[in-house]
Amino acid sequence: MRRRRRRRPRLWRVTILVLAAVFFLGPQVSALRYSFVQSNGENGLGNYTQLFHDSALGSSLVTSLEIAALTTVIMLALMLPTVVWVRLRLPRLAVVVESISVLPIVIPPIVMAAGLATLQSHASAQISSVIFTSPLTALTPFYVILAMPFAFRSLDVGVRAIDLRTLVDAARNLGAGWTTLLLRVILPNVRTAILTAASLTVALVLAEVVISETLLYDTYPVELVNTGQNLVGVAVALSVLSLAVTWLLLYMVSFIGNRDASRARIGRLL
């Protein structure tokens, strides 16, 4: 009787699970249903195919993907060596670095956008020609700053999960340089953390609208908001598509992480 009672889920757990499912999945199901309603009132995929017919949406999506790729590369190139160096050489400053990395979350994006707009309006011709003439060069540095808290947390968890000092000492004793150490020793061991940081960075770039709207750059989120003012169904459909891509990236990261954990358990058994 005791075993049966333990196996049966308690009523309050089931209630919380059902309420959470309704709260989180209800709006998504409603948005998915609404995305199939076309402008003529019929159901179809017209709202989703609008991405291929609207040149502004297509070009803005390409621009955002380019910014996301460049932001991810710069962010990993900066954050991974920083996390490794702090955990290896300056462990006492780990708390200070963590506190600094949280600042982009504490400061509202609109404050940063207002400061960037002031800088853009008062910048010299040389700075404007180098930085503010293209959204790729204007937005990427600031998106790196916005992605820093998420990237630092993901990479820090991955680095702390491995025996960093042993790996570094072994690689250095075998004659490996710091570049080889990062790329061929540490990076494969924190692959899941890197994929998580990259996924969060891409999701942030594809969702950030305040800074790009303030600086008057046509990125995918900005174009999505402008499209929603006239074509609500298209905006909802593209939002659902973006959310599905983000979930797919996170699922891939989870799948790779579980596979690496299974391999590690098998290696310990052998």
pLDDT at residue 5 is higher than 70:
no
Domain residue extents for the chain: 54-262
Q: Which of 183, 249, 202 is nearest to 72 (CA)?
A: 202
For the cut 80, the answer to whether the pLDDT of residue 258 exceeds it is: no
pLDDT reading at 3 higher than 70 = no
pLDDT at position 129: 78
235 phi and psi angles, rounded to 5 deg: -65, -40
How confident is residue 9, by pLDDT bands cut at 50, 70 and 90? low
CA distance 230 to 221: 15
Contact partners, residue 177, CB within 8 Å, separation at least 6: none
Alpha helices in 90-134 (DSSP H): 94-101, 103-106, 109-122, 125-127
| CATH hierarchy code of domain 54-262 | 1.10.3720.10
The whole-model pTM stands at: 0.76
Picking from 2, 66, 39, the residue whose alpha carbon sits closest to that of residue 236 is 39
Q: What residues have CB less than 8 Å from 196, skipping those under 6 apart?
A: 154, 158, 253, 257
266 has a pLDDT exceeding 50: no
Q: What are phi and psi of 37, to 5 degrees?
A: -85, 115
Indicate whether 172 pLDDT > 70. Answer: yes
Residues 53 and 231: their CA atoms lie apart, in Å, by: 14
pLDDT tens per residue, range 111-135 = 888 888 888 788 777 877 778 888 8
DSSP annotation of 8 reads S
